[in-house]
Structure 1
Amino acid sequence: MKRPPSLQFNDRAVILSPAGKIDGYVVRDAAAVLDSWGLCPEISENALGDIGRFSGSVAQRLSDLQKAFDDPEVRLVFCSRGGYGTVHLLGKLDFSGIKRNPKWVVGYSDITLLHAALQTYGIASLHGPMAQHFSDEGAEDIAVRHTKSILAGQPVKYRIPVGEKNSHLNRKGEATGRLFGGNLSVFCGLLGSKYARIPNGGILFIEDIGEVPYRVDRMIHQLKLAGIFRRISGLIVGQFTGYEEDNQMYSPLSESIREAVSEYDFPLCFNFPVGHVKLNFPLIMGGIAALRIEEDFISLIQ
């Protein structure tokens, strides 16, 4: 797995919108943060478009992304937001340019599709905050600072205190493997495609927003039936937000996940700071990760 080169002063960064539409001020705020890092940000031609729920037609969104992938001078492809629509582009993208000149691709949520596709071509990428987060929280936000640090070549070193919420569901242990996954519903949508490569002994992480518990339960069992839990060495459950517990289910959402994987012995943790939340810590997709889960802390190093 190739890790793209660390960003340097005056490197070019392209902000684009491969899925949903976004307000212009949000993108301009994000560009200002990238500029403060010493980069040269530019906003792609169709990044601020508006066609229904999308930032542009399939051809427009594809054009922006393909140009950024192909341009050897572009060092960072920064996705403005997720939403829905990246799936329209996967079968049409040519990855030969980014294979020759690997560059960082940053985003999460619907951008899970790009991360998975890049991993099939041996290129690591960054699951991390996007333009709205940069705009709302600013350059001094901890997740933004972690993003800057990783893109500059610093290692990922997280030591997360275990809080009271769902701590009883954690399963202690250590695991080392290639990190993969991302948004649960988006990742499940890739199963059966050539982009759903499951690394043997990999560490899976999942997060989601707005999915009611029975749908999450169905997707967890979909992963189970696909044999994914038999092949991983660790499972990180991030933040599941924007839902209400369902009293018609046997168990609350987190407990239902724990029950679904109870027959396996891999280390397991809940409430890791990744997802549609302010504490959305960046993670290197496709990078080797060392996960350690103890009674009072969770550590992850890449």
Structure 2
Amino acid sequence: MNYRIPPYLQPGDKVAIVCTARKFSVEEAQPAIALLESWGLQVVLGQTIGLDNFQLGGTDAARAADLNQQLRDPEIKAIWCARGGYGTVRIIDAIDFSPLEQQPKWLIGFSDVTTLHSHMHNLGLATIHGIMAFSVPSAMEESKTSLYHALFGQPLSYSIEAVNGNRKGSASGVLVGGNLSILYSLLGSESSMDTKGKILFLEDLDEYLYHVDRMMHNLKRNGMLKDLAGLLIGGMTDMHDNSIPFGYNAQEIILDAVKEYNYPVAFCFPAGHGASNWALKLGTIVELEVTDNQVNVAFS
């Protein structure tokens, strides 16, 4: 499949901020608005910003209608999800992605937004895994700068120090993935992606180690780990164990799940729920190189 890359942003372009999951107030949006305006962009707050439906940013109908409106609006060049949590899967089947056939536009977010990344990948659309509007006050400068580079089509490549447990090698392929728990929850649905020949990125937060093991084995049983070109692991943040230890940490669980396959594996990439969340252009080709000393990720 040929993946369509939306036009990169230009100063003056309009970016919409919407809630697909948890609620987000107008006051909370101010740092994100200031950031986008500092980049020369115009900000459009979706109708869900400020809505309060218990945890969610409005009812399912309201959140679906807001996202659909931004997808239809030809003046909107990118859609920035306000925050994650939970709720995107409740509206995914009510979203009309057909306007993107004529006018692809960037969709930005992480965590629960993996539902959209995965579904849009199946439609042949590139998206950006990166900080959300909610993240801006606490986001490190590199995370914000990397999002700017991704959105404006500037060169994007990363080098990090190697860690113990990496598996050396080089790979080239389309980058896919996101939050492990979300990808696991999508298995068997039309939003679950084909990973064959691709570089899979995974990250997660606040999970019990036995559940990480369960999820990795279910990805494996569904064929998502067998024919990868490479595996890139971001933050496995704030993992938990039971009073009787599971016996393996997250890295060991992942290595055990892929031990019979032969492709490079890199851990501790600064993307996900940790302090750093560097932007990744999903649905685009990346070169992954894992050596004794470093890991290089370069986008075409």
- TM-score, structure 1 normalization: 0.95
For the residue of structure 2 that corresponds to 1:188, the secondary structure is helix
Asked whether 1:192 is paired with 2:198, we answer no
Letter paired with 1:189: S
Match of 2:125 among 113, 123, 126: 123
CA contact (8 A) 2:126 2:282 kept: yes
2:221 is matched with 225
CA distance in structure 1 between the partners assigned to 2:238 and 2:188 by the alignment: 28
Q: Deviations over 1:152-180 (max 9, x none)?
A: 11132111122xxxx22110000111111
Deviation at 1:202, TM superposition (A): 0.3
Once the two structures are superposed, residues 120-150 of structure 1 have per-residue CA deviations (whole angstroms, 9 ceiling, x without a partner) of 1111010000112212347xx1110110011
Q: How far, CA to CA, are the matches of 2:122 and 2:49 in structure 1?
A: 26
Amino acid at match of 1:184: L
CA contact (8 A) 1:99 1:121 kept: no
Of 136, 160, 169, which aligns to 1:134?
A: 136
**Matches of 1:278 and 1:27 in 2, distance apart?**
20
Contact kept in structure 1, 2:8 and 2:153, CA below 8 Å: yes
Counterpart of 2:105? Answer: 103
Instruction: Give the counterpart letter for 1:260 in structure 2.
Output: A
Question: In structure 2, what is the equivalent of residue 155 of structure 1?
Answer: 155
Residue 55, structure 1, aligned to residue 57, structure 2: yes
User: What amino acid sits opposite 1:188 in the alignment?
Assistant: Y
Over residues 197-224 of structure 1, what are the superposed CA-to-partner deviations in whole Å (9 max), with x where a residue is unaligned?
2142101110011111000010000011
Alignment partner for residue 29 of structure 1, among 22, 28, 31?
31
Q: Which amino acid is the alignment partner of residue 266 of structure 1?
A: Y
The one-letter code of the counterpart of 2:279 is P
For 2:138 and 2:90, how far apart are their aligned partners in 1? 28
State how far apart, in whole Å, the 2-side matches of 1:266 and 1:103 are: 32
User: What is the distance in 2 between the residues matched to 1:92 and 1:3?
Assistant: 23
Q: Percent identity?
A: 37
- Residues 208-219 of structure 1 mapped to structure 2, 5 A cutoff: 208-219=204-215
SS in 2 for 1:264: coil
Cα distance in structure 2, aligned partners of 1:114 and 1:137:
22
Q: What secondary structure, in the 3-state scheme, does the structure 2 residue paired with 1:77 have?
A: strand
- Corresponding position: 1:248 with 2:245: yes
- Deviation for aligned residue 1:249: 1.3
Deviations 1:50-89 (A, max 9, x none): 1111000011101110001111110010111011000011
Give the RMSD, CA atoms, in angstroms: 1.3
Query: What is the alpha-carbon distance in structure 2 between the residues aligned to residue 229 and residue 44 of structure 1?
Result: 37
SS at match of 2:186: coil
Query: TM-score, normalised on structure 2?
Result: 0.95
The code of the aligned residue for 1:158 comes to Y
Number of matched residues? 296
Q: Structure 2: which 5+ runs fail to align? A: none
Counterparts of 1:83-94 in structure 2, within 5 Å, are 83-94=85-96
Superposed displacement of residue 245, structure 1 = 4.1
Q: Is the 8 A contact 2:270 2:278 kept in 1?
A: yes
Look up the equivalent residue of 2:239 and give its one-letter code.
Answer: Y
Query: What are the Cα deviations for residues 215-241 of structure 1, in whole angstroms up to 9, with x where unaligned?
Result: 001000001111111121111111011
- Residue 66 of structure 1 corresponds to 68
Deviates more, 1:235-244 or 1:216-225: 235-244
Distance 2:125 2:239 in 1: 34
Partner of 2:42: 40
What is the letter of the counterpart of residue 159 of structure 2?
R
- SS of corresponding position for 1:230: coil
Query: Which residue of the partner structure matches residue 205 of structure 1?
Result: 201
- Corresponding position of 1:280: 277
Tell me which stretches of 4 or more aligned residues in structure 1 moved more than 4 Å.
none
Q: Equivalents in 1 of 2:291, 2:229: separation in Å?
A: 16
